[in-house]
Amino acid sequence: MSNVTVKTKYRCPGDMYDISISVCKGRQRALYPKCPVCHYRTEIIAVSSGLEEENSVEPSNPGNNKSRKVVELYSTKDKLINRKIFKSYDIRGIYSVELDEYTSEKIGMATAQFLKSIKDDVRNIVVARDVRPSSNSLARSLIKGITKAGIDVIDIGEVATDVTYFAVGHYNYDAGITVTASHNPSEYNGFKLCHEKAMPISFDTGLSEIAEIASQTMLPTYEQPGKVIEKNVLDDYRRHVLNFATNIRPLRVVIDAGNGMAGKMIPIIFEHLPCELIPLFFNLDGTFPNHEPNPLEKKNLRDLREMVRQTRSHLGVAFDGDADRCVFVDENSQVIGCDIITAVIAKELLQKEKGSTIVYDLRSSWVVPEEIRKAGGNPYREMVGHSNIKATMREKNAVFGGELSGHYYFKENYYADSGVIALIEVLNILSRKNVPMSNLIAPLKRYHATGEINFEVEDKDEKIKQIAEHFKDGKVDYLDGITIEYKDWWFNVRKSNTEPLLRLNLEGKTREIMEHRKEQVIDIIQGE
């Protein structure tokens, strides 16, 4: 007997209810307005011929997007889109192998159609790019696709990802896309997307539908294409970031831009601060000739740590390729865990907003909720991932959020992440307290963590079941993977969304406990 399951219910884009296949086909024949952006569409000729009248408006309102009537369905060569590039939180792949200009154009068209399916009056999408060799051509193709779909593009040029979030939030644009592969090596590229108000578009909130639409070979184009409007947002962005600065002292700071976008953004901000800036790798070079743009890898921090020692600086900071994340080292060149920085910034912001909620990801140290409570705040533990953190921050009206990955989120930054604003807040704290960074964080380094350890595991679900059975006497939860807690240690094991990997984070009250328990958990993960 066949195991094939046939889908008998469809759903129109943006609707909350299912319809039968017969109703779906009837709507297509009746020229239902949502059909052009639906991946269930089958009756292409009927949809194509009817939309000219459906989308027409009086000539007296030429500025309305609805005047851009559909004149044809854009037909492309039947080249398959690699669906694996659509990740949990962004789109990413190896340039020219998994992702190219053809794919980029289709993603532009698909994103425009997706946005139209959930909002009647979509007028514009912000487009930005990082410094990678392929980013310029991918951005041009992306813009071509968006404008073919009848939507204007606000081109803000070569900037950090957090500038895109700022532009969408500050100017009330409908959406934003940054062409970037973040911290990945230069051969990668991709796209980070957000809705209006800088709300993220993740796989669950739109990327899956964009993938479906982009996989079609027939997409609607418009008689009146969208316009491309070049806009310089950097003056407004600088003012926005500097609003977070409060009486910063003339501190000496080493910053490793890693040849990425921080090399452009940091000088714009620091020319208005009294700090002595010692730059490392500020020349923009998307081949990243000095080291990979991933500050979470300690090997990529060697130059930063050495320069902090040589210059006797107060602080060192390394940014990733698109400058939305950063990692700190103290005046002794010791790397500071990103969860410790979350606790430091949280305590500072809670002095201004007593009783506020702080969101942190579940890989973070026990220190984070403990310090938040001490400061009178409400700690809220959340799943890993920027879309999860941002959604919860909005729901809880949280003033701040932090992840172990070096993403820091601010309510006053449209609930979006910004590495530059995180740096400003740390400088505020050092200036006000007038103590070395090592003194500031010493009381917070009271536990011992493994950091994230990855394991190749084929049957990830089965392995998590084994772990749960072995440690069933602990406090267990499944918020994100499995977390098991005891009185003197805890650990979390999560599945990778894109690779056959399990990711382990473990913390103990002493180094001896941490090392012993780490071996114990690793034995189970690697055992048969």
Residues acting as catalytic residues: 182
Distance of alpha carbon 386 from alpha carbon 409, whole angstroms: 9
- Is residue 69 exposed (0-12), middle (13-18) or buried (19+ Cβ within 10 Å)? middle
Tell me the two tokens of residue 330: 């103290």
DSSP 330-396: -TT-PEEPHHHHHHHHHHHHHHHSTT-EEEEETTS-THHHHHHHHTT-EEEEE-SSHHHHHHHHHHH
Distance of alpha carbon 227 from alpha carbon 68, whole angstroms: 12
Q: What are phi and psi of 432, to 5 degrees?
A: -70, -40
Strand ranges (E), 137-240 = 152-158, 176-179, 188-194, 218-222, 228-230
User: How many C-beta atoms surround the C-beta of residue 328 within 10 A?
Assistant: 24
Contact between residue 336 and residue 329 where contact means Cβ atoms under 8 Å apart: yes
Q: Mapping DSSP to helix (H, G, I), strand (E, B) and coil, where does residue 454 land?
A: strand
Tell me the two tokens of residue 51: 């939309």
Tell me the two tokens of residue 509: 């009250």
Q: Which neighbouring-strand residues pair with 506?
A: 491
Strand ranges (E), 392-521 = 400-402, 408-410, 416-417, 448-449, 453-456, 475-477, 482-485, 489-495, 501-508
CA distances from 233 to 161, 168, 170, 179, 381 (A): 13, 11, 10, 17, 34
CA distances from 474 to 484, 489, 490 (A): 6, 10, 9
Question: Token pair 């730059």 is at which residue?
Answer: 279
Q: Which neighbouring-strand residues pair with 200?
A: 194
The residue type of 502 is L
